[in-house]
Structure 1
Amino acid sequence: MEPVSTSAAVVAPVAEAVQAGVGFGHFIAQSDAVGKTLLAVLVLMSVASWALILIKGLTQLIRQRRSGQFLNFFWNARSLDEVSAEIQTHGARDPFGHLAAHAIHAQAHHARYGAAKLQEAGTSQEFVTRTIKKVLDEETTRLENGLTTLATIGATAPFVGLFGTVWGVYHALLAIGMSGAGTLDKVAGPVGEALIMTGIGLAVAIPAVMAYNAISRSNRVLNARLDAFAFELLTFLSTGSTLASGQAVRPAEAAADVRPLRAAHT
């Protein structure tokens, strides 16, 4: 009979707490301005992170599809003039098309006007190399947009929730001390409500961290492909052949060309 009485003694406070309306709504109703402000901050963080996750995810899917289509067209084109005409007709809608359009335009511009400005100084190959480096930097910057926000949310949301929990526990203990009722049923409810803030902070942070890691990896893969394509494109513009054709530039020249391109990403 004693285990039954012990079980009843444990269940009774829980039943009383449920009847008293202990829960998330009760916690919000009893929170002060600081607690509600922290909750609002977490809600804004969650909305911002999910908006970035959806936007970046959809953008990456579209970018990958368009990049695949352009690369398939580029390497099956019969000449750079055909590539240039395609870009002028449909525009550069992906990073590879953007890179090819600027590189082709830079070569044509330097061949027509020469080094008319300081930024155009040097040979045609040097000018094209600088143009490719500039485009690679622009694409890297575009890919990294929003990642700082995701990283900040993932790193700070748990601490915001923890601060809300500490603040809620502090006020709950003050209220319990003033009432003079320190029994388990009086302490468990308010303290349990305060722990909700930690849970909310983790719920906000975990998707942001996972999305940040996934997007960062996808960006690294795309940057590596862009770097390889930039080297191929520069070689093709310089010699009129791909690396696989056996008519590439000499090894010393190739190393000199690709070194500044890769240095832009280190």
Structure 2
Amino acid sequence: MEAETLALAQEIDFSMWALFARATFIVKLVMLMLTVASFWSWSIIIQKIISYRKARKEGEVFDQRFWSGEPLDGLFDEIGPDPDGQSEHIFAAGMTEWRRSHRNDGGMIAGAAARIDRSMDVAIAKEAEELQSGLSVLATVGSTAPFVGLFGTVWGIMHAFINIAEQQNTSLAVVAPGIAEALLATALGLLAAIPAVIFYNKLSADSDRIVAGYEAFADEFSTILSRQLDS
């Protein structure tokens, strides 16, 4: 009898697709949700890695141009008031307010330094929001996916025990498929959550470093303009 049970168990297909196909509707729905969440997370991760690399490269190139000794007015005329680069956008915001603060007689309108700082702060806030967009999705997937997978596992195991009770058979051939299908939901939950948590922490740190670089540049640029205001 034991040999016959083992033979029946060996005939059962335990491939991923077979486990999904045999699962109940609720467990299938959980698996599909976790699969979609995993692909969504990876799409955000890849997009952010590319955009952060581009932002760092653009920042390095602009820093070289900014500190090359080229006149700031000439640099601003070259890149325009609405450039594509993030660092250029912060610089353009400051220069735009700088020019608007000049009176017709060549003097400066009172409070120019504060307005320039606020203009660059607003530009930095917009860039930071764009850099951090999508990271909340990774945080949500990382925190909820294991529990969603656990729900699918609990539901699948409950259904497996119901089958055992209905068939009044506790053999391996009856128990193993239901348990395997249920545990697949937890595995998918972890598969979605682990990369999401790892890359959320990494990308958040990268975003903070990039924004800190923008803030440092804005402070340096504001200092340069303040010297010109004082002179």
TM exceeds 0.5? yes
In the other structure, the counterpart of 1:263 is none
Match of 2:113 in 1: 125
Letter in 1 for 2:203: I
Distance 1:81 1:17, change over 3 A: same
2:66 aligned partner: 74
Pairing of 1:93-242 with structure 2 (within 5 A): 93-112=84-103, 122-240=110-228
CA deviations on 1:14-51 (whole Å, 9 max, x unpaired) are 55323122443333222222112111111110121111
Deviation track 1:194-251 (CA, whole Å, cap 9, x = no partner) reads 111111111111111111111101011112111111110101111149xxxxxxx8xx
- Amino acid aligned to 2:224: F
Q: Is the 8 A contact 2:90 2:123 kept in 1?
A: yes
Residue 159 of structure 1, CA deviation: 0.9
The share of aligned pairs that are identical, in percent, is 31
Once the two structures are superposed, the pairs formed by residues 53-64 of structure 1 within 5 Å of their partners are 53-64=45-56
The residue type paired with residue 46 of structure 1 is S
- Tell me by how many angstroms 1:112 deviates: 4.2
Paired residue for 1:86? 78
Equivalenced residues, count: 226
Q: Which amino acid letter does the alignment assign opposite residue 144 of structure 1?
A: Q
Contact 2:148/2:189 (8 A) holds in 1: yes
Q: Equivalent residue for 2:16? A: 24
Deviation string for 1:176-207 (max 9, x for gaps)?
A: 11000013443233212211111111111111
Asked if the contact 2:164/2:175 (under 8 Å) is kept, the reply is yes
Provide closer, same or farther for how the CA distance between residues 88 and 184 of structure 1 changes in structure 2, counting only shifts above 3 A: same
1:39 matched residue in structure 2: 31
Task: Tell me the TM-score normalised to structure 2 length.
Answer: 0.89
CA distance in 1, matches of 2:227, 2:100: 17
Q: CA RMSD in A?
A: 2.3
The 3 A distance-change label for structure 1 pair 199 and 151 is same
- The answer on whether the counterparts of 1:23 and 1:193 sit within 8 Å (CA) in structure 2 is no
The separation in 1 between residues aligned to 2:130 and 2:35, in whole angstroms, is: 27
Give the drift of 1:53: 0.8
Q: Which amino acid aligns with 2:193?
A: A
